[in-house]
Amino acid sequence: MPTSEPNAPPSPIVPKVAPLAAWIAAGLMALAPAALTRAATEAPSLPEAAIEAARKDLLARHGAGEQVRIDRGLAQVRRVWRADDGDAQAFQEFVGEEFLPAGEPLDATFNRFEFAFERIGGYFVSMTRDLRRGVDLEIGPLLPLDERLAAFSPDAHLSDDLFASRLAFVVLLNFPLSTLEQRLHDGGGWSRRQWAETRLAEPFATRIPAEVNQALTAAYSTADSYINGYNIRMHHLLDAKGGRPFPAGLRLISHWGLRDELKARYADAEGLAKQRIIRAVMERIVRQEIPAAVVDNPLLDWDPVKNTVVVSKVKDAEPPAGASATPDAAREPDTRYRMWQGIFHAQQRVDPHTPDNPSHIARRFNDDREIPEAEVRRLFESVLTAPMGKDVAALIARRLGRPLEPHDIWYVGFKPRGAYSEEDLDQRTRARYPSVAAYAADIPRLLTELGFSAERAAFLADHIEVDPSRGAGHAMGAARRDDKAHLRTRVAAGGMDYKGYNIAVHEMGHNVEQVFGTTAIDHTLLQGVPNTAFTEALAFVFQDRDLELLGLSRPDAAAGHLKALEAFWATREIAGVALVDMEAWRWMYAHPEAEPSAFRAAVVDIARDVWNRYFAALLGERDVPLLAIYSHMIDSGLYTPDYPLGHLIAFQIEAHLAKQSPMGAEFERLCRLGNLTPDAWMRQGVGAPLSAEPMLSAAAAALEAVD
């Protein structure tokens, strides 16, 4: 559930659900040795005269009525044509033969492409699923071979192959690319075919040289290793009296582990002192005042408030290789910021190859999210400036019985108490689902109760295959119409426990979206949803009804109010984090040559500034740099805005579906909208643009009801 709980480091690429685009993007990120040997760095190579000659020839053949399409097609091909694709003569011959005037041959070619790309993407999806069978399914002991098969990418060279075979050039010559601005301003009036055409051309808009992608992959992986090794040995944190407030052996990764430990301490009567120590650790990391020697080192004790280091007299864990036993207090030399800048410098090398979006910032917002940066900022500010923020903060202070402190941005006390005990629920699910087959057999009933007609429930059940999972469970969609979506679920010997059932219902929501979005959709080029936030929102709608499906009563209105307050407070926190991330990237582009120390100082300033604007008045302290602790900032290249966007999108979709009864037909209509921009999807789906309003009004209503 990546959009609701930023626990795991996300992939550096926001997954686009349109399968071919996703497969090509994945291929671009993979290091293909064959691709590296290709002469891929040459700049666009066609002389103006060649373009002019081709233009005259095409106009003579097809007439002035085709002039706009001819000019567009030539420009689109020229941008990505390299010397090794052929000389001017080859270019002229190619465009002369392959340009199609509007009309029947063009329509037929569009249909062929749509079918072909459904097959290419679809078979790669099913092949990858088959290759991952050993690691994903409970089919006996895991073999070393299983890991190798799972890591093998049969599509690694797909993008290169589509250019080399000139299929990509045929697309670019005949079908339009669009800018985000066009999709936003004109897309509302586009036909489904026009949307499908723009999704057809999009994967070929840019052609990034292999060595640039290699540098990008290397920068992300270096930063990723740095973050993965950034652990704090909690038993070796000393308080003011030299005591050890944290248990032996506890090793927490920054920031997830530290933040989740801080959250868990709300349930602990002695928790506040521990939370303050964790906050001190986080601020030392952000300011790079943390002694480099204490990172992941159980040989040294550290007092993070006084920032002193001594040799530890307590042994609770084996030290990693190279851990120093010398109590060196020298600070970490801005490595954190050097890693972040490493990704920036690698992205700078991509910039000249994406002239429409010549910065990582532009690519992230315009290509990946398809929501302009200014709009994202406006959405976040609408949450951060909502006057109810003060009232929610006051409510939290009342519930805690003390004034708020900066770390209370991570308050988690708005959890509803369950009406049923976990044991009671386990008993019910185990009796109902003794095996994977029992759950599979129940899918038509589950779907009918969720509000789908008997006919649709049967259609869906027929397109969902249920498999025994090694892990907790996941959904794996298909990408061709005749393939099935797979629901992976875990059933222990005594039957399915409640946790497993709850996950299975969530994953089944993904499967239903996948089947409607692939098999029932009008254009497979539009299959999927705009981004993962939409996917998760639709799955949560299912998960939210899991008790009803067991014949029990749903969580009551009070639980809904607590959920709204929890979502608002969490969105507020992560929106602040995202604004820091966004400002930091702007600063890097304004100061491309800066030293890591200057960047560190800038990020601390930015974090303090965002804090003072939106948090200081609520949490009682100024100049706090805590928002800059997120590790995703360092290793994921401007990913953090996806979290608050995910919360807002999920809230808006769930609020819309909550009003539908039965919801089956409306759920299907939403899933069949496909991979439009988030804005177009929202307008056609829920009748309003992307907005924070549903969350803000739910939080306001909750404030009236909760005390």
Residue whose CB is less far from Zn ion, 24 or 539 = 539
Residue whose CB is less far from Zn ion, 158 or 538 = 538
Crossing angle of helices 596-614 and 271-287, in 10° steps, is 140
> Is the preceding peptide bond at 474 cis, omega within 30 degrees of 0?
no
Where are the alpha helices (H) located in 591-641, listed in sequence order? Answer: 596-614, 616-619, 631-635
Phi-psi region of 635 (alpha: psi -120 to 50; beta: other; left: phi over 0): alpha
Q: How far apart are CA 162 and CA 158, in angstroms?
A: 6
In whole angstroms, the minimum distance from the beta carbon of 65 to Zn ion comes to: 49
Cα dihedral across residues 295, 298, 301, 304: positive or negative:
positive
Crossing angle of helices 88-98 and 67-80, in 10° steps, is 140
Crossing angle of helices 557-590 and 335-350, in 10° steps, is 80
Report the residue number whose CB is nearest to Zn ion.
539
Q: How far apart are CA 202 and CA 183, in angstroms?
A: 12
In whole angstroms, the minimum distance from the beta carbon of 563 to Zn ion comes to: 17
Residue whose CB is less far from Zn ion, 386 or 504 = 504
In whole angstroms, the minimum distance from the beta carbon of 22 to Zn ion comes to: 16
Applying CB under 5 A, which part among 49-57, 89-97, 357-365, 534-542 lies near Zn ion?
534-542
Residue whose CB is less far from Zn ion, 476 or 547 = 476
Phi, psi of 476 (to 5 degrees): -125, 110
Does residue 539 touch Zn ion according to CB under 5 A? yes
Residue whose CB is less far from Zn ion, 1 or 13 = 1
Applying CB under 5 A, which part among 150-158, 282-290, 340-348, 539-547 lies near Zn ion?
539-547
Applying CB under 5 A, which part among 1-9, 184-192, 253-261, 294-302 lies near Zn ion?
1-9
In whole angstroms, the minimum distance from the beta carbon of 539 to Zn ion comes to: 5
In whole angstroms, the minimum distance from the beta carbon of 1 to Zn ion comes to: 5
Applying CB under 5 A, which part among 384-392, 522-530, 538-546, 659-667 lies near Zn ion?
538-546
In whole angstroms, the minimum distance from the beta carbon of 543 to Zn ion comes to: 8
Residues 312-351 interacting with Zn ion (rule: CB under 5 A): none
Applying CB under 5 A, which part among 12-20, 535-543, 682-690, 694-702 lies near Zn ion?
535-543
Residue whose CB is less far from Zn ion, 349 or 470 = 470
In whole angstroms, the minimum distance from the beta carbon of 6 to Zn ion comes to: 14
Residue whose CB is less far from Zn ion, 219 or 539 = 539
Which residue type does 662 have? P
In whole angstroms, the minimum distance from the beta carbon of 387 to Zn ion comes to: 33
In whole angstroms, the minimum distance from the beta carbon of 504 to Zn ion comes to: 12
Beta strands in 427-521 (DSSP E): 464-468, 473-476, 485-489
**Residues touching Zn ion: how many (CB under 5 A)?**
2
For residue 603, give Cα distances in angstroms to 108, 338, 529. 54, 12, 34
Element (H, E) at 512: helix 498-518
On the CB side of 560, CA atoms within 13 Å amount to 17
Q: How far apart are CA 436 and CA 61, in angstroms?
A: 62
Applying CB under 5 A, which part among 235-243, 333-341, 512-520, 537-545 lies near Zn ion?
537-545
Applying CB under 5 A, which part among 367-375, 406-414, 532-540, 615-623 lies near Zn ion?
532-540
Q: Tell which residue, 375, 372, 389, 407, has the closest CA to residue 571.
A: 389
Residue whose CB is less far from Zn ion, 340 or 498 = 498
In whole angstroms, the minimum distance from the beta carbon of 125 to Zn ion comes to: 17
Applying CB under 5 A, which part among 90-98, 246-254, 531-539, 629-637 lies near Zn ion?
531-539
Does residue 20 touch Zn ion according to CB under 5 A? no
Contact at 8 Å (CB) between 186 and 3? no
Q: How far does CA 259 lie from the centroid of its chain?
A: 20
Residue whose CB is less far from Zn ion, 582 or 653 = 653
Residue whose CB is less far from Zn ion, 539 or 648 = 539
In whole angstroms, the minimum distance from the beta carbon of 2 to Zn ion comes to: 7
Contact at 8 Å (CB) between 300 and 310? yes
Contact at 8 Å (CB) between 539 and 680? no
Q: How far apart are CA 272 and CA 254, in angstroms?
A: 19
Phi, psi of 190 (to 5 degrees): -75, 150
Residue whose CB is less far from Zn ion, 532 or 675 = 532
Residues 482-521 interacting with Zn ion (rule: CB under 5 A): none
In whole angstroms, the minimum distance from the beta carbon of 503 to Zn ion comes to: 9
Residue whose CB is less far from Zn ion, 85 or 467 = 467
Site of interaction with Zn ion (CB under 5 A): 1, 539
